[in-house]
Structure 1
Amino acid sequence: MDIILFLVIMIFLVATEMAIPFLAKRTTVFGVSIPDEYCKDATLVSYKKRYSLLVFIVGALAISLYIGWILTGNPLNETQVLVGLAIQFGILIICTALYFYFHAKTLQQKSRMKWGENEKRVKVMDLSVRSQDSMLPWYIYLLPIVVTLGVIVYTILNYSMLPEQIPVHWGPNGEPDAFTPKTYVSAISLPLVMLVIQCMFLGINETTKRSGIKLSATRPEASRIRQLTLRKYTSWFLFLVSILMTMLFSYLQLRMVHPDLGGNALSISMPFLFLIVILVSTIFYAIKVGRAGENMNLEQEPGIVDIDEDQYWIGGIFYFNKNDPSIFVEKRFGIGWTINFANPLGYLMIFGPLLLILLITILT
C-alpha cells in the first residue's frame, strides 16, 4: 500500500509539473509578463515544450529507478518511504531549477524582441465584477469547525477511556506509528491541529475574496471569466479539503476512544481514498481554471498592452508590491494563489497557523 501511494503521488507530481506551463495564465510565461499578441511566439512555445519534456524524462527515470530498486533490492519498508520522499523532493528541486532556467531565457527573449516597449500600457478597472463573484460565504466554513469542536468535547468527556499512550502520527496504512503519554493536551492535539487548519482555510477564503480582481486590457472578458472561475473554484476546493480533513482526522481521533471503530479495512482505505479524492479534485481544479476564458479572442485595438508588473515579481514567483493592498494574488507560474510578501498580514495568515501547530506539537 505504501509503495502504491508513493507511486501515485510521484506520477501526479510529474504530470502536474508537465502541464503547468500550458495551464498558467497565458500572458505570463515562466513568470514573465508577455503582451497578449506575442504569447504564441514560436520560441516561447518551444520553451514550454522543452520544459515539459525534460520534466517527463526526469520523472520517468526517477520512478523507473525507484521501482527497479524496490523489486531487486527488497529494502525495508521504512527505507522505501524515506527514499520515496527523497525522490519527490528531488523532482521538485529539479523542476524548480528548470523553471528558473526557462524564466531567464524568457526574460532574454522579451528584452531582445522589445515586446511592449513602444505600446501604450493600460490598466482596466471594472467595479461591477465584484457583484458576479460566487465564492463561498464565510459561514459555510464554520461547518467543519463545529464538527471539530464537537470531537474535542467528546474526547474530553471520554478522557478516561483513552489509552495511556496517545497516537501522534499515522503511517500510510492508517495505523499509528508514534505515541506520547496521555495528557489532556495530547488527547486533543490532533483535533486542535485540525481546528487551526480549518481557521486558516476560513481566513484564506475571506482574504482572497477581498483581494483585487485584475483584468486584462487586451482580453477583458476572457480575464474576467478566468478571475471569477479562479476565485469560485479556489473557494470550493478549500472547502472540500477542509471537509475531507475533518472526516479523516475525526475518524482517527474517535478511534482512540473506540479502537474497533470501522475495522482495519476502513483504517487502511480511508487515507488512500482521501489522497485519491484530493488528487482528482486538484486535477479538475487546475484544468477548470487553466482553460477558463482561453478560447476567447483579442478584444482591443492594436498598440495597447497590459501594465507590466515584472518589477514586483522576484524570479516570477515572489510578489512584493507595497502599493497593492491584496494579501493574495494569482500565481504567475502554476494555478492558484501566492501571498503579497509586502503585506504583513500575508505572513500572519500563513506562518501564524504554522507556529500554532508547532506549539501544539511541542506541548504534546
Structure 2
Amino acid sequence: MEPHLPVPSKLRTRRIAVTVSVVLLALVLLGAVGFRVAVRELQQQIEAALGPRSQVGSLRVTWAGVEARDVRVRGDRSQRWPAEDELRAERVLVVPDLLGLLSADVRIRQVVIEGGYVAMQRTRDGRLRVLPALTEDRPGTGKKTGAAPMRPVSIGNIELHDGTLEFFDASVRRPALKLRLEQLHAQVGPLDLPTLDSATSVQLDGVLKGVHRDGRLRIGGDLTIATQDADIEARFNGVDLVALQPYLIKVSEAGVRRGTMDLRIDATVKDKRLHAPGHLVLIDLQLESAGVLGTFAGVPRQAVIAAMSKDQRLELDFTLEGRLDDPKFSLNENLAMQVASGLANALGVSVGGVVEGVGNVVKGLFGR
C-alpha cells in the first residue's frame, strides 16, 4: 500500500481560493436577486403612492433603484386646486435603503428629481397644501376617501435639481396671487409619510420671478409639518416689489410702480406660537400716484417718497408674533402692520388714528 502523500501547498491554496470565490459569487447572486425583488416591491409601492391622478411615461428598475420618466400628478379641480398639475418631473430616481429592504416597512434612502415642477397652495384661511394626492387623499391623512390606505414610507433625503415652483396664495387676494420660483435647487429630509410628524431639514435656493427684475430666495432650517414647529431662516435679495406688493399694501393704497426689496426673517414656531424678527430694506421705491391723502403700507405716501429721495434706500426692523391656531391672527395683516409700524418709526410719523387734514402731510395725517 502506497503511503499517503500530502497535497502540495499550491494546490491546496488554489482549492481554497476557488471555494471562497464560489461562496462569494453565490452571495452576490443571492444579494442581487434579493435586491431586484425588493426594488420591484418598491416600484409597486411608488405606483400605488402616486395615486389615481398620476401617470408615468416609463418606469424601469436599475441597479441604483427605480427610475421614472415623465412623471405627472394632475391637480384636482373639483377641490379648487389652482394649477393643472400638482407635480411634474422629467426624471425621478428612487434609491432604496438596503437595510430597509429586509424589513416590512418601505424605506427610501434618496429621491432625486430632475426638471421638476411643484405647485403649492395657500388657502384663504392660511392652510398650506402641497401634493394633496399624497398627503390628503388617503385614509389616515385627515381626509376620508375610497382609496386604499397609504403604507408608511420613510424617505431619507429628497433632492430637486433645476426645478420650478409655483405658489398660489389665496390669503392675500382673489384670484390667488401667483409667485414663481425657477432654477430651484432644494434638499428636504427626512420625511415620514403620511404622518409627517418628524423633524425635516429644508434647504432651498432659487430665482423669484418679478415684473421688472428677478430676485433671489434662500430658505434653510428645520420644521415638523404635522405640528408646525419650525426654526427657519429666509433671505430675499433684490426681489421685485411689484410682485410682492399685495403683502405690503391694501387695495385702497398707492400701488408700487417699481422698486426692489431685501428681506431677512428668522422664524421660530413652538407649540404653534410664532416669533419672527426681521429686517426689511426698500430700494429705489417708486409709487403710483394716489393723491395727497394716499398711503403706502399704512404710512403717508408723501413721507415715504420724501425719505426715499435721500439715498433711494429705506431700512426698518419688525417682529412677527402670534399664535398660529388663533383665528384672529393673520400673518398677512401682522406683516403689513409691522411694516407700517417700522416705516412710521423710520420716518418719525404715527400710524395710529385717522386722516384729519392735509396741512402737514408728514406729521398731521395720522393725528398724534
Smaller-chain TM-score range? under 0.3
* Structure 2 length-normalised TM: 0.20
More helix by share: 1
* Structure 1 length-normalised TM: 0.20
For the pair shown, the structure with the greater C-alpha radius of gyration is 2
More strand by share: 2
